[in-house]
Amino acid sequence: EYKLKLVNPTQYRFEHLATQLKWRLQEGRGEAVYQIGVEDNGLLVGLTEADMKASLNTLKKMAEKVGADITLLREREVDYDSDRNTRKIAEVLVRKVPDDQQFLDLRVAVLGNVDSGKSTLLGVLTQGELDNGRGRARLNLFRHLHEIQTGRTSSISFEILGFNSKGEVVNYSESRTAEEICESSSKMITFIDLAGHHKYLKTTIFGLTSYCPDFAMLVVSANTGIAGTTREHLGLAMALKVPIFIVVSKVDLCSRGTVERTVRQLERVLKQPGCNKVPMVVLNPDDAVSAAQQFTQSTCLIVDEIYSVPDVGTVVGGTLYSGMCREGERLVVGPTDEGRFLRLKVGSIQRNRSACRVLRAGQAATLALGNFDRSLLRKGMVMVSPKMNPTICCQFEAAIVLLFHAKTFRRGSQVTIHVGNVRQTATVECLHGKDELRTGERAVVRFRFIKHPEYFFATD
């Protein structure tokens, strides 16, 4: 939001500004960036020291009125009409202080080739301590003994990084549990650590499609460059239209020339046909990213995990795709093997082991379902509002590009379908206009699920 100056506004003007700020916070999912000293057309005019101080004070009062905090991101001097007085512009982050333990949640999928340093990077980010050179930072992320022994991730794991309303990291204190981090945080980044080895590619694909990441972080080792599954992971993220940023790791293990060569290699790949991206090298914290999500749609939660908890009953974990979900809300879950949707009631909701009453679109949580029969549930189901009148899908048509296939792709071939949280084997019923398909060719193909029907979103 551009504002030239906010000096001594009238009461009516102040109320209008506060209402506008509240709308901007809703649009930006609890965050908004104000440019002070900039005209509506983007012209950098700047303000004197006194006007800037008064404008920031007014913005602070506006933020307090709507229950938010402000953080000065950066301040720059500008030249305007050869004015001898020093003029400045300021970029200010306004962040809503959530009520009832609600916090902003951003999910980042971590991709990259095996041994590129993904788990170690997450360990350092979330624990605030450097690695000892022998993999100590990554130990807390591993879930299985063989992962600790080999140092390679084979399953999906999660790490959280919390920020308070001032933008300060809350993880970095002694013995902070997930519950304590959530209670102290206004914004949470959930890192989804995915496997880099080609052997576990299906697990990585499931993590990308099922957990609905807001961004993908592609980790590339400076000393090896683009190798192994790096290109595949990049292609998957682009095919799923997940915004990507790249982190070059292990820069301390090689010369400056090697690092620059790896960066040039990445730039060439990103500019190639198929990617067609304009790479931007980030060397300072001046850039900020904000996203908006709509909460007015009907409730739809995708089921990723299913548990049985003593004294609680059946618990499901997943991400709310759209709408809002409250304690005590009545939903339907399905489809079952027979294609039916079953009624249930949400008993309680927890996010990172902290109780909350309302779940909003884009947030991940666990929902207690009481004595609902766990055997009726499976991964890949959805919990939706009954008023959506959900329909099932046994077969569907899709326009595909065959990136690579060792054999000829024809009628009767079996493939694994990944759509959202759906993961199931399907048979090729027919290829429209063709008898067979080879690498690099396109076609409209009809697939039929082998085991049971699925639910597809309208945007799938």
406-414 contacts, C-beta under 8 A, 24 or more apart: 408/436, 408/437, 408/438, 409/436, 409/437, 409/438, 410/435, 410/436, 410/437, 411/435, 414/450
Pairwise CA distance, residues 85 & 78, whole Å: 10
DSSP 84: S
Place of tokens 């379908």: 417
Rounded Cα distance between 111 and 142, Å, is 16
Fold of 2-96: Translation Initiation Factor IF3 (3.30.110)
The structure's pTM equals 0.48
CB 398 within 8 A of CB 419: no
Tell me if the bond preceding 335 is cis, omega within 30° of 0.
yes
Give DSSP secondary structure letters for 77-141: EE--TT-SS-EEEEEEEEEE--STT--EEEEEEEEE-TTSSHHHHHHHHHH-----SSSGGGGGG
Given a contact cutoff of 8 angstroms between Cβ atoms, the answer to whether 327 and 349 are in contact is yes
Residue 296 in this model has a pLDDT that exceeds 50: no
Reference 213, options 241, 239, 232; nearest CA is: 241
Token pair in block for residue 212? 């609905």
Distance CA 210, CA 302 (A): 8
Q: Give 83-134 pLDDT, tens digit per residue.
A: 567 888 999 988 876 554 456 778 899 998 888 888 888 888 877 777 666 5
- pLDDT classification of 299: cutoffs 50, 70, 90: confident
Judge whether 93 and 288 are in contact, CB under 8 Å. Answer: yes
**What residue spans define the domains of the chain?**
2-96, 104-271, 300-388, 395-449
Phi (first) and psi of residue 229, to 5 degrees: -90, 10
Closest CA to 328 of 344, 341, 317, 306: 344
- What pLDDT shows up at residue 459? 53
Per-residue pLDDT tens for 222-248? 888 888 888 889 988 888 888 888 899
Residue 92: exposure state from Cβ atoms within 10 A (0-12, 13-18, ≥19)? buried
What span, in angstroms and rounded, lies between the C-alpha atoms of 246 and 219? Answer: 6
Give me the pLDDT at residue 132, please: 60
Query: Tell me, which fold does domain 300-388 have in CATH?
Result: Elongation Factor Tu (Ef-tu); domain 3 (2.40.30)
- pLDDT class of 445 with cuts at 50, 70, 90: very high
Inform me whether the pLDDT recorded for 82 exceeds 80: no
Higher per-residue confidence, 456 vs 298: 456
CA 353 to chain centre: 19
Tokens of 288: 């900020």
Cα separation, 277 vs 294, in Å, equals 27
pLDDT over threshold 70, residue 454 = yes
- CA atoms of 30 and 290, how far apart (whole Å): 10
* CA-closest candidate to residue 398, choices 439, 435, 440, 426: 426
CATH class of the domain comprising 104-271: alpha beta
Smallest CA-to-CA distance from 25 within 58, 60, 66, 59 is with 66
Q: Give the pLDDT mean for 423-431.
A: 93
Q: Enter the DSSP assignment of 433.
A: T
- Is the pLDDT higher at 149 or at 376? 376
Ranges of H-type helices in 172-225: 178-184, 201-210
In angstroms, how far is CA 391 from the centroid of its own chain?
27
> Cα-atom radius of gyration of the chain, to the nearest Å?
25
